[in-house]
Structure 1
Amino acid sequence: MKYHYWEDVWTVFWRDWVVLKRRMTKFILSRMVAPMLYLVAFGWGLGRSIQVDSGTYLDFIVPGILALNSMNISFNSITPVHAERIYHKSLEEYIIAPIWPDAFVIGKVAAAVLRALISSAIIVILALLFGAHFTMTPLFFCVLVLNCIIFAEIGFLAAMKINTYEEMAQVNTYILLPMSFLCGTFFSTQALPSLVRLVIEVLPLTHTSYLLRGLGSGAEVSYLSLLVLLIYAFIGLVWGSRSFRKLTE
């Protein structure tokens, strides 16, 4: 069977884009709520009484908010694949379709990344309106995209492995929620106990927070963190591809 690799990826991606385009207004409005609450509560409220080494606390938390928001949106944007596999049984349409198997994985991840980037753009605009100061470089954008890819892949893996809605919710409760608050998003991991910090600094969101904050403020960044994110993204793609291919066997 001859595959048209990128045409196959585009076909999968286009289907999700059409759905998003029809719901774009509702999507944008819904994605404004949480960032505004974070910016008001932590930037204007709590942030006025917190001193950081450079800039304001608002400048400090905006990269963290971008990191955790892109994590949540990219993960949750791909969870409908779980319903397609378990409840709707529509995943079989892709399995029997004459397309490159990995095209489904890449197309779904790309669609989730797009949603997360649109949401991130909303945060950037709101943060600037709130008076935040940070620099967006090409590497800043690449790190943000990498973070979206990693958690979209994690969402895809969860959709392939988990069999109930309750278990999918537990991924948010036991994995994403702790990372949202502990991985350097709202405070430095240096404030954590040594053993806890050792575990936290292995997680991808921690490296994303460090990189975005460093790049946004013009400080030196660790390219080891960038390498860690690339490794996570590669492993996620390979693992997700294998999980989907098992369904086709």
Structure 2
Amino acid sequence: MINDIWTVFWRDWLVLKRRLGRYVFARMISPLLYLVAFGWGIGRNISVGQSNYLDFIVPGIVALNSMTISFNAVGSPLNMSRLYHKTLEEYLIAPIGAVSFVTGKILAGVLRGMISSAVIICLSFLFGAQFLVNGYFLLILVLNCALFAALGFVAAMYLNSHEDMSNFSTYVLLPMSFLCATFFSTSHFPKVVRWFIELLPLTHASQALRSVAGGGAVSFLSVAVMIVYFLLFFGVGIWQIKKMSD
């Protein structure tokens, strides 16, 4: 199984390796705009608790960016492969199990999400942000990348056009990008709205990363919620591949 997972992952790594420089440079553009606008622009005049707004927002940006990159790294190519290039069939007829295929694709999405997150973290330190990056921070970040890579896999297998993938991002990822404690606290929302938002995985990722980055305790409840989401998406992805193989 490990060899099969490595085979699937290695194929995606070779594609990324050929354009790694351009990929890293492209990942710098959006974080730079966020850091300039919210760090130098708004952040200098706003304090959040005992820290400034730049320190507050960076974990949210990391959570948001890792969500988007990991989802798109798996969802868009797999959707194109299934519907247009018809290369997914090559995996289905190969002696690679469903668990190995799904795991390899998710790991490829995690890799891209972690590279993008590393770019943001480095840029944030250059902008003067002060936050802690430790084992718990990396664990939560990897888990966030994994669950949204798994969600990208599920979406790619269910949705039947590139337009549907774009609509999914608009209706699901975009609202989470702004509401799930990325740019501001959810404490001022009405109770019903806050209850719904706190069910979403990105909320737990943002809050857990922010807590650890500020030197606080890790929220094992948030970690547990993220694990449940990952296992759900992972299981559905395996079921989809097995269904196609039958």
Superposition TM-score, scaled by structure 1 size: 0.97
Structure-to-structure mapping, 1:120-199, within 5 angstroms: 120-199=117-196
- SS of 1:15 mapped into structure 2: helix
The equivalent residue for 1:15 is 11
Partner residue, 2:240: 243
AA matched with 1:56:
N
| 1:140 Cα offset (Å) | 0.7
Map 1:77-96 to 2 at 5 A.
77-78=73-74, 79-96=76-93
Instruction: Look up the equivalent residue of 1:153 and give its one-letter code.
Output: A
Question: Among 89, 97, 110, which residue is 1:100 paired with?
Answer: 97
Aligned partner (choices 227, 232, 241) of residue 230 of structure 1: 227
Classify the secondary structure of the residue corresponding to 1:87: helix
Amino acid at match of 1:182: L
1:210/1:221 contact within 8 Å kept: no
Indicate conservation of the 8 Å contact 1:66/1:120, yes or no: yes
1:54 CA drift (Å):
1.5
Deviation at 1:180, TM superposition (A): 0.6
Match of 1:205 among 202, 207, 211: 202
Alignment check: 8 A CA contact 1:17 1:111 kept: yes
Q: Which runs of 5+ in 1 are unaligned?
A: none
Q: For the Cα contact (< 8 Å) 2:159–2:165, is it kept in 1?
A: yes
1:111 aligns with 2:103: no
Aligned length: 245
Between the aligned residues of both structures, percent identity stands at 54
User: Using the alignment, how far apart are the partners of 1:103 and 1:19 within structure 2?
Assistant: 19
Cα distance in 2 for residues equivalent to 1:184 and 1:221: 16
Q: Distance in 2 between matches of 1:100 and 1:168?
A: 26
Could you tell me how far apart the structure 2 residues matched to 1:105 and 1:97 are?
14
Q: 2 CA distance for matches of 1:220 and 1:152?
A: 26
Equivalent residue number for residue 75 of structure 1: 71
- SS at the partner of 2:47? coil
| Pairing partner for 1:59 from 55, 68, 73 | 55
Deviation at 1:49, TM superposition (A): 2.3
> Which runs of no fewer than 5 residues in structure 2 stay unpaired?
none
Per-residue Cα deviation, 1:7-37 (whole angstroms, up to 9, x for no partner): 0000000000000000101100100000000
Q: Is the 8 A contact 2:136 2:218 kept in 1?
A: no
Displacement after TM superposition at 1:184 (Å): 0.2
Aligned residue identity for 1:24 = L
Partner deviation per Cα, 1:78-105 (whole Å, 9 max, x = no partner)? 1210011011111100000011222111
